[in-house]
Amino acid sequence: MSPGSVKAPVIAVVGPSGVGKDSLMEALLERIPGLVRQRRIITRAPELGGEDYDAVTEDRFAALCVAPGFALHWEAHGLRYAIPRDIDELRNRASGVLVNLSRKVLLEAEAAFGTLVILSVTATPEVLAERLMTRGREDRAEIERRLARAATPMPAGLSQVIEIDNSGQLEEAVQAAETALMPWLQPERV
């Protein structure tokens, strides 16, 4: 088998809202050669920022789900999220592909992607509350709902879970994640 025929690993970054998944991914993209991020399709208004995503209506999401279909999709916080099938092509030319997933779709993701490395990002409840309020993307009621969901357990039976504590400095979490990911990356695509 030639090196180019091996697909890059899908690297799922998961954890409660506000834990720092987007911040960690942005830092890893700057530091790791050949690492790319798969954009998500979300039924969220386009101007809210926080990550680069394809904003669609509920109707458009439902249509795309039928054709061309998604690699993976789920619902959370009253929104629908999807990973497009384009991820397959991205895996042919990257050292690794980062995706932001819900914890509840991880077993499905393992089945869909084969090589799935999971970065499970954690922080204390107090830290989460402070970060969500400082970020200010959601109103207070929505922040309360997100905090109530924070303790969602990881599914049992996952094969490769790496826990990254982001309660402290972001730089420490980035270093830990980079070190843990190195053995999984496709070095010939850097």
Ligand X SMILES: Nc1ncnc2c1ncn2[C@@H]1O[C@H](COP(=O)(O)OP(=O)(O)OP(=O)(O)O)[C@@H](O)[C@H]1O
Q: Which residues of this chain interact with ligand X, rule CB under 6 A? A: 17-23, 50, 131, 134-135, 166, 169-170
What is the smallest separation between the CB atom of 64 and ligand RI2, expressed in angstroms? 17
CA distances from 25 to 22, 60, 141, 156 (A): 5, 27, 27, 24
Contact map string, positions 72 to 111, toward ligand RI2, x by CB under 6 A: ----xx---x------------------x-xxx-------
What is the smallest separation between the CB atom of 62 and ligand RI2, expressed in angstroms? 18
User: Burial, 37: exposed, middle or buried (Cβ in 10 Å; 0-12, 13-18, 19+)?
Assistant: buried
Residue 86 marked ligand-binding: no
Residue 16 marked ligand-binding: yes
SS3 at position 45 = coil
Is residue 12 within 8 A of residue 99, CB to CB? The reply is: yes
Q: Strand 96-100 relative to strand 35-37: parallel, antiparallel, unpaired?
A: parallel
User: Residues, the chain, total?
Assistant: 190
What is the smallest separation between the CB atom of 166 and ligand X, expressed in angstroms? 5
Residue 18 marked ligand-binding: yes
Q: Which of ligand RI2, ligand X, none lies near 84, with the C-beta cut-off 5 to 8 A by kind?
A: none
Q: Which residue has the tokens 């998604």?
A: 70
Q: Which helix (H) or strand (E) holds 80?
A: strand 79-84
In the annotated binding site, the residues are 15-22
Binding site for ligand RI2 (CB under 6 A): 14, 17, 76-77, 81, 100, 102-104, 149, 152
In the annotated binding site for ATP, the residues are 15-22
